[in-house]
Amino acid sequence: MPLSTYISWRRAVNGGAKLLIIGLLGWALYSELQGEVDIPTLQRLFGRSWQGHRGHFLILAIVLMPLNWAMEVEKWRVFLSPFWRAPKRLAWKAVFAGVALSLFTPNRIGEYGGRVLAVPARYNWAAVLATAAGSLAQLIALLGGGLAGVFFYLKQRQLLPELWGSMGWAVLLCTLLVLALFLYLPRLVVVLRRLPLPQKWWAPIAQLKHYRRRQLLSGLAWAVCRYSLYSFQFFLLLRFFGLNLPVGAALGGIATLFLAQLFLPLPPVAALLARGELALLIWSPFAPEKLSIVAATFSLFIINLLLPALLGAVFIVKINVLKSLGYDQEAKRYDSGPDASNGIYSPSTESMENNNDSTSA
């Protein structure tokens, strides 16, 4: 293939991939928000809440947003550290790119794609493993927090004797199983080795053996801190919109809502209305202001997901998609594409490549 033809083809594919990603993000936002959220009514409610001398609650919730994502960045870097010491700037771009793609993918699976696009091609599988480990840590925080939250919520509703038994034990058992799986992640390699997996699947899975207990606990600590922070943000938004719920009912309801979201296999944008309905179901017995409940849920989505997603979309536009996936000619020339050891990066070679990483980042 002539060089000029190859360059034109590469540019067309790279540009088309970016347009597809940005187009899907825009379409998902428009189709879900149009007709499902009464924007003028929410604006009037926002104005009344701001004039009601409660603006400091909203300001604090917004100020905490970068801290929320800083915790996610640090958590991801912890799980990535056995394979690569990712620069903070690149890690921020990867996390925000993942948020952008996750808005229109079920169970936020787009986070994997966004983070893979933002890292050098030879670290693609490392990014996938780190994202999976981080998701597992966040799942433990959600299950553990949800278990405690449901307990306090049912206690506030005086439903504890009737409903707690089977549900509480089921969630507790599930939490303990996931926690055991997480803490013994390196030993999972021994179990999976006995399965008839294709070699191309086994190669990245085998890298789990590089995780150490200290790294797993550190990542889990970041996950718990992040869970506590965005729960507090939700609490601040409830206060901003005038919902003076009892603290136990508010925090217990927040944990219950986040736990219930685990069973909604929908993209965050598509699940926005469902989350609003769940919030109404949880807090209606305590507060008659239904619009305020929906407004708090919608505002949390805007602050914690939509704004970072728009920033992530900007990063995606600047990414060379083919090079990130290892199909760019320059990437292959430097043995950094999928053809180089299946895209698996060995921690043993890290000392030889640190200088190149810091330069390219």
pLDDT score of 57: 95
Which amino acid is located at 279 in the chain?
Answer: A
The per-residue pLDDT for range 334-349, each reduced to its tens digit, is 343 343 333 444 444 4
Task: Measure CA 93 to chain center.
Answer: 13
Q: Which residue has the higher pLDDT, 305 or 158?
A: 305
Instruction: Give CA–CA dist 324/336, Å, rounded.
Output: 9
Per-residue confidence at 223, pLDDT binned at 50, 70, 90? very high
Looking at per-residue pLDDT, the higher value among 348 and 296 belongs to 296
**Residue 152: which pLDDT band, with cuts at 50, 70 and 90?**
confident
Enumerate residues 6+ apart whose C-beta is below 8 A from 57.
236, 237, 239, 240
Is 331:124 a contact under the CB 8 Å cutoff? no
At 337 the pLDDT is 39
Separation between Cα atoms, residue 226 and residue 258, nearest integer Å: 13
Copy the structure tokens of residue 95. 């996390």
How many whole angstroms separate alpha carbon 132 and alpha carbon 145? 20
Q: What's the token pair of residue 208?
A: 């789990």
Q: Is 81 helix (H, G, I), strand (E, B) or coil?
A: coil
Residue 12's pLDDT band (cuts 50, 70, 90): low
**Full residue range of the structural domain in which residue 51 is found:** 3-360
279 vs 72, 249, 289, 299, CA distance in Å? 25, 12, 12, 13
Crossing angle of helices 124-156/110-118, nearest 10°?
140
Specify the DSSP class assigned to residue 105.
S
Report residue 158 CA to chain centroid gap.
Answer: 34
Amino acid at 269: V
pLDDT at 358: 43
pTM listed for this prediction: 0.79
**Domains held by the chain: number:** 1
Distance CA 128, CA 134 (A): 10
Give the position of tokens 């990066």.
345
- DSSP for 271-333? THHHHHHHHHHHHTTT---HHHHHHHHHHHHIIIIIHHHHHHHHHHHTS-HHHHTT-SHHHHH
Q: Looking at mean pLDDT, say which of 81-90, 114-123, 149-158, 166-175 comes out highest.
A: 81-90
Contact between 189 and 208 (Cβ < 8 Å): yes
Nearest to 133 by CA among 205, 192, 225: 205
Tokens of residue 310, six digits: 């728009």
Q: Which two tokens stand for residue 301?
A: 């989505």
* DSSP at 87: -
DSSP string, 321-353: HHHHTT-SHHHHHTT-STTTGGGPPPGGGHHHH
